[in-house]
Structure 1
Amino acid sequence: MVQKRERSIQELYRDDPERADALAWGRRGMLKGAALASMGAALGGSIPFARHMPGGLLPALFARPAAAQSAPAVFRMEGKAELILQGDRPLVGETPEHMLDEAVTSYRYFFVRNNGQIPEPLTTDPNAWRLTIDGEVNTPLTLTLGELRSRFPSVTRQLQMECGGNGRAFFTPQTRGNQWGNGAISNGEWTGVRLRDVLAAAGLKPGAAFTGHFGADPHLSGATDRQAISRGMPIAKAMDEDTIIAFALNGQPVPHIHGAPVRLIVPGWPGSLSQKWLTRITILDKPHTGAGMGGTSYRIPVRPIVPGSNNNGADFVDMTSMPVRSILSSHAHGSRLAAGTRSLDLRGAAWAGDLSVRAVDVSVDFGASWTAMQVAAPANRHAWQRWQGRVALPSDGYFEVWYRATDSAGKMQPFAAANWNPQGYGANPISRAAILVG
């Protein structure tokens, strides 16, 4: 006898939102009467702005990725906070948004993303680590870390680093890859030398157009003839003043899990370009063809494709500047506040790849009205921007804090994840955090 599998409420809403409303709450049209009582009981309180709640919308309390699970798997590592374990082969950990409440992200709260095995920690002098620059250059270089430090000027910058798949869990239908919420982001204070200074010393040939990056992390399979990941970028991004070969994070040597002793930082673009355990950069006259290049890898459709369809990525383009996104760090999703709380002092961060953030707006009435937040200037280009502000609450009950950012080109976070692609890149919808008062 074949048993029929019960579908979760998330699956019901994904497949047929209006039918899910009827099945879960008895709702048809406006939320009222028995349907309102049923949903309020499930959420743990009355819903003061129920009249504005859109039909077919699963309440945020049940909809948020990872945090919506009753007991998400926990990433544990010495010196790290308890992150959300996205995978253990390779090792991947996401930072819950409320832990990203610092202007400069501490090592403790840095998200972790690996593509292969983690190389053994160095037992020799880190200054002896070697980096090779070759390919379309006049003078190929092999430099030790000590020579990088002594030969080129050091710079220190606050720089955002974000996984290309950040927000992947918001796509419907589900795509391949780690089901990130919004927490594959950090804003560290990185110290290193500008890549453009090193490339100038090597001397770029006229045909120099792209880079290819190589690291010491072994392939997940253990194969010695395969790279775990090896991506590259147009030479213009390599020459950006904020693209650096980093050897320090927040005033200390780069931690091993984050690529010690030397790594690339390519801010504002997919984090996969920021090669960890960096050993070589080759300069090419055409796009790099390493692991993580071509097909659907870190590439998005030029024209929309049917969600859930197969596609080989032949007409996709490489992801470059990451889309505008915001996080809420003052209140954890699912927070319960004291009865009588009548205002929320909110804060968070927002960023927009190579662009800056022009505005952040917040709604607590399901998008019927929005309140502008104060957005601080970035510490420097490619640093995230902190925001803060206050919103009023009319009573106790269940509320959702909706937050959205707008970039300097006027592009705003969409209501739903757009431009579906098989590997789930570029999802940056408005986020919703559930708050229960009383």
Structure 2
Amino acid sequence: MSRERSLQELYAQDPERADALAFGRRGALKGPALAAMGAALGATIPFAGRMPEGLLPAALAQPAGGTPTLRMDGKAPLILLGERPLVAETPESMLDDDVTPTDKFFIRNNGGIPERFAGDPKTWRVKIEGEVNTPLDLTLGELESRFETVTLRLQMECGGNGRAAFTPETRGNQWGNGAISNGEWTGVRLRDVIRAASPKDSARFTGHYGADPHLSGDPSRPSISRGMPIAKAMEDTTLVALRLNGEPIPLLHGYPVRLITPGWPGSLSQKWLTRIVLRATPHDGPGMGGTSYRVPVKPIVPGSSNNGADFVDIASMPVRGLLTNLAHGSRLPAGTRRLDLRGHAWAGDLTVRAVHVSADFGASWTEMRVNDAPNRHAWQRWQGSLELPSDGYFEIWTRATDSQGRMQPHAAANWNPQGYAANAMARTAILVG
């Protein structure tokens, strides 16, 4: 006797049949399927008639067996995505602070974690060389004494944030929306250091190097070495950072010094920084070229292979908004009819113009209030309220729009083999009653 498949299993194995059974020809949930889906969710679905055809409720779209949790001194219980290299994501409900606490920072490594520098951190050295007239070899003590120190709130986001939304699945860590932080970073402006090295007219790009060991153990191989156009390096928010949230940077996050390149992929924020090379041509280190941190100029067939010849480097990250004061899967008391909501939104080099939320599967949207950022490249707080008609299962959809009018899509767009720059709107499942 065969076991009857659940609706979730059916969608995973045979989505066309699942749609036919659940929605019928007209796209509305049919009685038996509606009852089955409600039973699976543990509640009625008040807006079932507005549910888009083929949509699997967010509460059911969870990996079998749950998600592993990182247990590490000095870190909150993050979602563990990989152990070698160590990669962990921050749950969205842990991103409610205006300044992300250090223990809640997501973790992204490409190689091993180096041994903690045993000497006085002020003696750590950083070199600036290449297309410069005056190569520099400075200690951190000299960096602090020679250049102006600034403190800024700056977003840092992994280029693969949102990757799990791509269909078909791509290579790489399957991030949800939590590969983002907004710390308070203290350091010196990279542009001041570059100017002190007297860059040549030929200096058009940077290349960055750190002390993290390659997973192979080969000391001659960098784990990652990315670079950026000189214009980004010269922005007043691009820092050689020495402190995070008023304290020395933890080893896990780059002690004693790292780059912070806000608004662009976090892979440009080199940890354990040792050297910056100015170049006449784009950098060619690990993490550059091909499909690495690059997206198609023109759409490609999802699931197809590609060598990246017609791709372009990711620059400014796309707009994204998160609901942070209600966790996915929250159960609220029976009779709850008003939701007071808040969260954060950001848009790479741009600002956020609007945030809208919906509780009826996108049939209608309510605009939230969006605060100004305290400085460029900090995320923005949004808040507002939403009315519910009854108890039951709801999804709060969160959609942000940037200052150029670009809005988060319903589904991840511009599929690419390594799953970069997916910014599908966020969906938070809640049960009332």
**TM-score, shorter chain, exceeding 0.5:** yes
Q: Which residue of 1 aligns with 2:32?
A: 34
The range that moved more, 425-434 or 132-141, is 425-434
Question: Secondary structure of 1:326's match?
Answer: strand
* SS at 2:60 equivalent: helix
Query: Letter of the aligned partner of 1:74 in structure 2?
Result: T
Deviation string for 1:381-435 (max 9, x for gaps)?
0000011110001110000101100000000000110000000001101111110
User: Hey, what does 2:45 align to over in structure 1?
Assistant: 47
5 Å-filtered alignment, 1:203-282, equals 203-282=198-277
Q: State the identity as a percent.
A: 71
Structure-2 residue corresponding to 1:431: 426
Partner of 1:290: 285
CA distance in 2, matches of 1:419, 1:378: 29
TM-score by length of 1: 0.96
Out of 331, 353, 357, the position equivalent to 2:326 is 331
Task: Return the alpha-carbon distance in structure 2 between the equivalents of residues 398 and 418 of structure 1.
Answer: 27
Instruction: Pick the aligned partner of 1:411 from 398, 406, 411.
Output: 406
Higher mean C-alpha deviation, range 222-231 or range 5-14: 5-14
Q: Deviations over 1:107-129 (max 9, x none)?
A: 11100110000000122100000
Equivalent residue of 1:172, what SS? coil
User: 2: CA distance between counterparts of 1:6 and 1:421?
Assistant: 36
Alpha-carbon offset, residue 32 of structure 1: 3.5
Note if contact 1:17-1:57 (Cα within 8 Å) is conserved in structure 2. Answer: no
- What is the CA distance between 1:69 and its match in structure 2? 4.8
Distance 2:145 2:75 in 1: 32
> Corresponding residue for 1:188?
183
Which of these residues, 56, 59, 62, is aligned with residue 58 of structure 1? 56
Which AA in structure 1 matches 2:359? V
Distance 2:34 2:56 in 1: 13
In structure 2, what is the Cα distance between the partners aligned to 1:323 and 1:380? 18
Aligned counterparts, 1:133-212, within 5 A:
133-212=128-207
C-alpha separation in 2, matches of 1:277 and 1:7: 50
Q: Is the 8 A contact 2:95 2:324 kept in 1?
A: yes
1:382 equivalent among 342, 363, 377: 377
Q: What's the CA shift string for 1:50-102, capped at 9, x where partnerless? A: 110111111111125xxx55420111211111000010000001000000010
For 1:393, the equivalent position in structure 2 comes to 388
Q: Deviations over 1:135-180 (max 9, x none)?
A: 0000000000000010000010000000000000000000000000
Query: In the aligned structure 2, how far is the partner of 1:165 from the partner of 1:15?
Result: 26
**AA partner of residue 45 (structure 1):** A
Worse-matched range after superposition: 313-322 or 13-22:
13-22
Say if 1:18 and 1:303 are closer, same or farther in 2 by CA, change over 3 A. same
Q: What SS does the corresponding residue of 1:60 show, helix, strand or coil?
A: coil
SS at match of 1:80: coil
In structure 2, how many angstroms separate the alpha carbons of the residues matched to 1:26 and 1:274? 47
Q: Are the counterparts in 2 of residues 172 and 307 from structure 1 also a CA contact under 8 Å?
A: yes
TM-superposed CA distance for 1:37, in Å, is 1.1
Q: Distance in 2 between matches of 1:269 and 1:48?
A: 40
1:176–1:424 Cα contact (<8 Å) kept: yes
Q: What is the root-mean-square deviation of aligned Cα atoms in Å?
A: 1.7
Q: Distance in 2 between matches of 1:274 and 1:397?
A: 44
Are 2:351 and 1:353 equivalent residues in the alignment? Answer: no
- C-alpha distance in structure 1 between counterparts of 2:6 and 2:87, whole Å: 26
- What is the Cα deviation at residue 249 of structure 1? 0.4
Alignment of 1:119-138 (within 5 A): 119-138=114-133
Change over 3 Å in CA distance of 1:179–1:10 after alignment to 2 = farther
SS of 1:382's partner is coil
Structure-2 change in CA distance of 1:421 and 1:15 (3 Å): farther
Contact in 1 for aligned 2:7/2:36 (Cα 8 Å): no
Q: Which residue of 1 aligns with 2:74?
A: 79
5+ long unaligned stretches in structure 1:
none
Say if 1:262 and 1:278, in contact at 8 Å, map to a contact too: yes
Cα drift, residue 5 of structure 1: 13
Give distance in 1, aligned partners of 2:227 and 2:309. 18
Counterpart secondary structure, 1:98: helix
Alpha carbons of structure 1 residues 10 and 158: separation in structure 2 relative to 1, 3 Å? farther
C-alpha distance in 2, partners of 1:234/1:14? 43
Aligned in 2, Cα 1:58/1:343: closer, same or farther, shift over 3 Å? Answer: same
Deviations 1:322-345 (A, max 9, x none): 000111111110111111111111
1:402 is aligned to 2:397: yes
Q: Are the counterparts in 2 of residues 14 and 172 from structure 1 also a CA contact under 8 Å? A: no
Q: Does the 8 A contact of 1:18 with 1:55 survive in 2?
A: no
AA paired with 1:320?
A
Cα distance, 1:7 vs structure 2: 9.1
Greater shift after overlay, 8-17 or 39-48?
8-17
Question: How many residues of Structure 1 are paired with residues of Structure 2 in the alignment?
Answer: 431
Equivalent residue for 2:113? Answer: 118
Residues 360-388 of structure 1, C-alpha deviations (whole Å, 9 max, x = no match): 00000111100000111001000000111
Q: Which amino acid aligns with 1:121?
A: R
Per the TM alignment, residue 21 of structure 1 is displaced from its structure 2 partner at its CA by: 2.9
What's the secondary structure of 1:236's corresponding residue? helix
Could you tell me which residue of structure 1 aligns to residue 366 of structure 2? 371
Distance 1:325 1:36, change over 3 A: same
TM-score by length of 2: 0.97
Query: Structure 1 residues 301-310 or 8-17, which shifts more?
Result: 8-17
Q: Distance in 1 between matches of 2:9 and 2:145?
A: 57
Q: Quick one: which amino acid aligns to residue 373 of structure 1? A: M
SS across alignment from 1:327: strand
